[in-house]
Amino acid sequence: METKEYNDYVERWEKYWKREKEYYEKRKEYIKEEKEYLLPELDKRYGHGKLDSPYQYGPFTVIRDQADLLNHNFILPGYDYSFLQLPNTDHNIPSYFGKRLWSELKKCEGEVIGYAYDAYDDYIQIRTDTGEIRNIMVNSHYKVEE
């Protein structure tokens, strides 16, 4: 990943985590002060509870360089560790690059071109035969051609 792109992701993640901390601190305060009636407005202001909110899931981050994923020193933007240290993921994803993947959930297939994530999920990126880029959830059912 280019340095500028990496730094842009880091900056976006820092803003996201700061905003999330503010949200949860304010939420905790409202609950402690028994002001739960203020929670819906707080959720709305911070974009929580809306599936289409750009604030709900954090910056969608894409890594297309297989070497970055295999590098212990490449710290994932938004996190304090490398891909190799990620809990609960398919650590074979770097070996899938260039191979065909079929997704049971999305009912599509294509060539693996990248890895992506947000604050809650991670994805394998594929390019279908029509050129469309699809994001396949890592915790879904998929098959990679060997």
Say what the pLDDT of residue 33 is.
Answer: 96
Which residue range is the domain that position 42 belongs to?
Answer: 1-57
Instruction: Compute CA distances 72 → 1, 18, 108, 119, whole Å.
Output: 14, 26, 32, 20
CATH number at residue 70: 2.30.30
Does 46 share its domain with 70?
Answer: no
Does 37 share its domain with 91?
Answer: no
Does 91 share its domain with 122?
Answer: yes
Query: What are the tokens at 56?
Result: 């709900």
* Beta strands in the chain, from DSSP E residues, in sequence order: 61-63, 100-103, 108-117, 122-128, 133-137, 142-144
Per-residue pLDDT of 80-107, as tens digits, reads 999 999 988 999 999 999 999 999 988 9
Give the separation between CA 92 and CA 95, rounded to whole angstroms. 5
Per-residue pLDDT of 37-93, as tens digits, reads 999 999 999 989 877 777 888 999 999 999 999 999 999 999 999 999 998 899 999
Q: Choose one of 42, 57, 72: the last residue of a domain.
A: 57
Question: How many separate helices (H) and strands (E) can be counted in the chain?
Answer: 4, 6
CA 74 to chain centre: 16
Does 52 share its domain with 65?
Answer: no
Contact between residue 77 and residue 99 where contact means Cβ atoms under 8 Å apart? no
Per-residue pLDDT of 124-137, as tens digits, reads 999 999 999 999 99
